[in-house]
Structure 1
Amino acid sequence: MWVRGAAIRPVPPYAVVDRRVLDTIEDELAENGQRTKSDLDDAFGRFENTQPALAHEAAQVLARPLDQTALALGYFLTIAVWMAFDRAFGSRLAEVTEDELRAAESALTLEEELRAAHANEPLELDDVMAIEQPGVLGFINEHLEAALEPSDSREETREVDVDDVHTVYRTVLIMTLALSHAVGTASGARPREMLA
């Protein structure tokens, strides 16, 4: 299914992440203990080594003076999404270049503009991204909603900076789009035209 007038190019079927991969990673990251912290440190190191442009972009966003909830969400989603692509596709996942990252960002910006200009159409940016990567977007949106829910504790009321959460959300969407187009076929080939 493809939406007329969309700026985001379709994600090839061989590059769609299965939601079960993300659920497994979430379970692993939720485990307690020193081994998990060590595994997480190793994962961040591999992320920086294998995807330097994405890691740099994420570091730039997460270095801002963000709300603590947005910051925690950003760290978690960044590493979980990258780990899902890495685990699902392994050597078929190529390094996202700076140009490819900027192309993904431009496509997302143009999609936002198209959706704003056609506000009477039923699909929003989230819907378009969910068509392309349903498992990843479902995972991201669940954690986004949980981060924005009011605290159940009467002792602690927290205010979440919605703008900071949106900044993190948009960064993870760009990362998802860039990684989606960095996956090669089973033979390792990548499409020539990566992004619009």
Structure 2
Amino acid sequence: MKKSVELPKYQEVTLKNIAHISIDSSYKEELDNTTIYHITKKDKNIVVIDSFLIIDYLNKKFPELELQVIGPAQCIIRIHEKKKPLSFLLVVIVWLILFIGTAMTIMNFHYDVSMQEVQQKLHFLLTGQENEFPLWIQVPYSIGLGIGMLLFFNHWFSKKFNEEPSPLEIEINNYQQNLDDYLIQNENMLDDERNNR
């Protein structure tokens, strides 16, 4: 079973859409194209299909086959609609908000830790002279801060510096796994409620 897949609205879900099939017989093509579910309007944007229901259905349709499930017990189908093109104005507004918010965060952090005073004292220790704006320390520090953030997030727009996932990608993956676990658990609770009625 595949853990999750993305399919368009109103599509018939076949077995090959939600599972990898390994078989040494002429049934492969027929199994691949067996319709398991039909996405309807009431499904909204997520459908959870349980492997035990699939096994029951396939056992009735192919009683001569022995079926085994390997991997996740459920497959989450995410129903996607055609995406509207992004508005250039919206992108610019979001970019400005993020830019200003990030700049304010960095400035407030530097103010909290008295970064300017630290740099002034460092300048005095190294040169023996007092200077309110030691630019020879501040400019390389600012450039290094930007480069450090680029290296930490491992991205320059769509270009990656190496194949390792960035911390942000790992967090997004962890969030997605937690969301999938919640959806599977919630769907099972809803099924139990329906069966008790």
Flag whether TM exceeds 0.5 (same fold).
Answer: no
Larger RCO (CA under 8 A, 6+ residues apart): 1
Larger radius of gyration: 2
Higher helix share: 1
Q: TM-score, normalised by structure 1?
A: 0.25
Pick the structure with more strand per residue.
2
